[in-house]
Amino acid sequence: NAGVMQNPRHLVRRRGQEARLRCSPMKGHSHVYWYRQLPEEGLKFMVYLQKENIIDESGMPKERFSAEFPKEGPSILRIQQVVRGDSAAYFCASSPDGTNYGYTFGSGTRLTVV
Amino acid sequence: AQSVTQLDSQVPVFEEAPVELRCNYSSSVSVYLFWYVQYPNQGLQLLLKYLSGSTLVKGINGFEAEFNKSQTSFHLRKPSVHISDTAEYFCAVMRGSQGNLIFGKGTKLSVKP
């Protein structure tokens, strides 16, 4: 039973390009959360999604960032026109039912903007 | 608003010594409390969690934590650390049974031989 799979593990983008980060939840999990970890900081919540629905996006920057979790396929975190300040580790977590019992994190995608 | 404070950003300790990593939270409602460990360039692994019941919670790798409601604390302890415990440790809270986690800034534990 594979865990939460994130890819790519490392992503380098030039300023102004787009970054797409993928997250495949654990089998049977239909709730996905995205977090961002800036250097020397803890993780900050970004967005909570269920299949085809955004439940809570209170942590998402207002511009350039979007997330989706389609009926089929992985959840995608998309960052348009990246800037150096977007450089961070992005972690995805999944849960079978949105409760705190089965929260599992992936290994993260480390985005570097050059 | 909820917040989590980890009082020590770095904790150096010698192998086989005891260690305590401190965590305080602020919340006006019931919370659920967690400790995660992050090894270099890896994701977060759950060490232990407090949901209800006994205030002393035992986790993996010999760690334990005690929930103290009056002091709003959830300190992590281990009686004897190993070199392999060197990692960053994060305390987190969740309000209610659903929703997102709020993390502290982390404590880097460095175990020296």
Per-residue confidence of chain A (114 residues) as pLDDT tens digits? 568 999 999 999 999 999 999 999 998 889 999 999 988 788 999 999 999 999 999 999 999 999 999 999 999 999 999 999 999 999 999 988 777 666 889 999 999 999
pLDDT at B29: 72
In chain B, what residues touch A108 (CB-CB under 8 Å)?
Answer: 42-43
pLDDT at B54: 87
CA R_g for chain B: 13
Determine contact: B105 vs chain A, CB below 8 A: yes
Give the pLDDT confidence of A96-111 residue by residue, as tens digits.
877 766 688 999 999 9
Is there a contact between B103 and A44 if contact means CB atoms under 8 Å apart?
yes
> What's the CA angle centered on B51, arms B103 and B38, to 5 degrees?
35
**Amino acid at site B106:** G
Rounded to an integer, what distance in angstroms lies between the CA atom of residue A33 and that of residue A69?
10
Contacts of residue A71, defined as CB under 8 A and 6 or more positions apart, other chains included, come to A51, A52
Give the chain A residue nearest B6 (alpha carbons): A42
Of A108, A20, A58, nearest to B36 by C-alpha is: A108
Rounded to an integer, what distance in angstroms lies between the CA atom of residue A33 and that of residue A59?
11
pLDDT at B2: 72
Rounded to an integer, what distance in angstroms lies between the CA atom of residue B2 and that of residue B25?
7
**Amino acid at site B95:** R
Is there a contact between B101 and A43 if contact means CB atoms under 8 Å apart?
yes
Give the pLDDT of chain B (113 residues) as one tens digit per residue.
678 999 999 999 999 999 999 999 987 677 889 999 999 878 889 999 998 888 899 999 999 999 998 899 999 999 999 999 999 999 999 876 667 888 999 999 999 99
**Could you tell me the two tokens for B68?**
């103290």
In chain B, what residues touch A91 (CB-CB under 8 Å)?
Answer: 43-44
In chain B, what residues touch A101 (CB-CB under 8 Å)?
Answer: 51
Is there a contact between A91 and B100 if contact means CB atoms under 8 Å apart?
no
Rounded to an integer, what distance in angstroms lies between the CA atom of residue A95 and that of residue A76?
16
B19-34 burial: b if 16+ Cβ within 10 Å, else e? bebbbbbebeeebbbb
Is there a contact between B101 and A48 if contact means CB atoms under 8 Å apart?
no
Is there a contact between B46 and A91 if contact means CB atoms under 8 Å apart?
no
Rounded to an integer, what distance in angstroms lies between the CA atom of residue B67 and that of residue B85?
22
